[in-house]
Structure 1
Amino acid sequence: MGLGDRGKRRVKLNGSPSVDDLFKPTEEAAEAAQSEPTEKKIGRPKGGPVKPKTFTLPLELNQRLRRFAFEHECKEVDVVRAALEAYLATHEEK
């Protein structure tokens, strides 16, 4: 994302700009987003053992999965893992 006219008005430099001046955030939202803690990520812990699986899905279910993952900016496999965890948590005998 470039500075655009709004950002150009906010950047005030005396003389030749340094690299840090050129890449400094120009909006408060950008600074706030950097300081907020990130959400817990869904998926397997890094370094844990894995077993590859292959599944076939009905076309409509596959389209719903792809749309959901796109809209929530995550990977399809993360959605499947979370859904499987939730399903097993409610259906496993304790």
Structure 2
Amino acid sequence: MPLAWERLYPLPFDRILKEDPKKLGIQKEKRGDGRIVYIYNFLVFMPKYDRNENEPKKRDEGREILVYFLWEPGNLEVPYRIQLGDLN
């Protein structure tokens, strides 16, 4: 998940607080067009940041964010993505 995060979001999360907080395990979903997607959830701590001469400086305060990691093995270009909050 950290590699997917770095590719999609400019600021890093601080740490994974809990793996599978929804207690769903790894879900396998078949989409309408036949694609298979595997889904796993995490709870991460995202700190607030200050700017320090164009460099982000992390603060101790922040918030917990529910994150879904989606892996689509049939997609050869970008097989994984991240969705913040609940799934649509």
Would you call these one fold, judging by a TM-score over 0.5? no
The TM-score, its normalising length taken from structure 2, stands at: 0.26
* Structure possessing the higher radius of gyration over alpha carbons: 1
Alignment TM-score, normalising by the size of structure 1? 0.25
